[in-house]
Amino acid sequence: MVRSATIMTVIDGMLRPLLALLGLISLGLAILGIFLPVLPTTPLLLLSAALFLRSNRRLYDWLLNHPRLGPYIRNFMEYKAIPLKIKVLSVSMVWITLLYCAISVAEHWAFRLFFVLLAAAITAHILSYKTLK
């Protein structure tokens, strides 16, 4: 019984840094998602918060209290809603970016169709959430 407790302590000691590292990677991708419309900012921030909660309470508290990133997480966790400004910006950036790719980058009609369908799917997903006033 003591041996299994020791093994669990070792596993827990190895898992926490890994979860913290994954949280930092997710946070970095979320920050990139602010500027790149294909990366979803809010889900990546929620993933970061969940990973930090299980690995490093200090990072979790920092993220939730961050003046720019914290409101994304708190609003979504509390209301399951996205502010109107963020919805409009997100949908606009998705369409601008993916239409550019469909028109200027893709050479085959199947890729063009893929970019348009991807934009439509992302838009539907964003609009499926309530709007936070």
Q: What is the pLDDT of residues 53-99, one digit of tens each?
A: 999 999 999 999 999 889 888 888 888 888 888 888 888 888 998 99
C-alpha–C-alpha distance, residues 103 and 101, integer Å: 6
For 17-37, the pLDDT digits (tens) are: 999 999 999 999 999 988 887
Residues written for the chain: 133
pTM of the model: 0.66
Question: Domains of the chain: which residue ranges?
Answer: 1-79, 82-133
Give the three-class secondary structure for 118.
helix
